[in-house]
Structures are given as structure tokens and as C-alpha cells.
Amino acid sequence: MTDLNKSTRRQFLKVGGAALVALPIIGMSGTATAATNAAVRAALQYQTTPKDGKQCSTCANFQPATKGCTLYPGDTEIAPEGYCSAWVIKK
């Protein structure tokens, strides 16, 4: 094996190793930014569309800064135009 081949092989292994380390980190960060609380969504019949003119953006429980809801721990994907059976008018 020539020195050129050894160098190329070493570079390939370095880049491959870095990619293997980076992939789980990218995957975990993607999961963290798109968290939903499936159990509460199911229990309260959450939907991503308004119902009878009621929607999350007009609900007292909606947390627009975090895209959350006080009744949905850890859920950061509550849509302003979503709705669930716990809707309460914002005062």
C-alpha cells in the first residue's frame, strides 16, 4: 500500500467516524424540537383543525411562546388552529 493510499484511507475513516457520531446527535435534537404528548392528545381528542369556531389560539390554556398547552406536559407542537375537548375561552 502506498503512502497516498494510507493517507486517503485514514481521512476516510476520520470523516466516517465523525459522521457516525453526528447522526445520533442530529436525530436526538430533531426529536427534542418536535415533542408531542400522545397520551393527553388521545385522552382530550386533540385535533389540528378548529371546531365550531373554537381553536387553541382563543383558549386560556394555550402557550403560544412555547407552542404548548398547560394541559399537555412536554408537548411543543400545539397548533394555534388546533382544538381539543378541554377548550376554555381566553379572558
Give contact residues for ligand SF4 (rule: CB under 6 A).
46, 56, 59, 61-62, 69, 71, 78, 82-84, 86-87
CA-CA distances (angstroms) from residue 85 to 10, 33, 43, 50, 62?
A: 59, 25, 9, 11, 13
Nearest CB to ligand SF4, comparing residues 10 and 90: 90
Q: Report residue 91 as a C-alpha cell.
A: 379572558
Nearest CB to ligand SF4, comparing residues 20 and 87: 87
**Smallest distance from ligand SF4 to CB 84, Å:** 3
- Rounded to 5°, the CA angle 40-41-47 comes to 160
Nearest CB to ligand SF4, comparing residues 1 and 38: 38
Residue 38 CA to chain centroid, in angstroms? 12
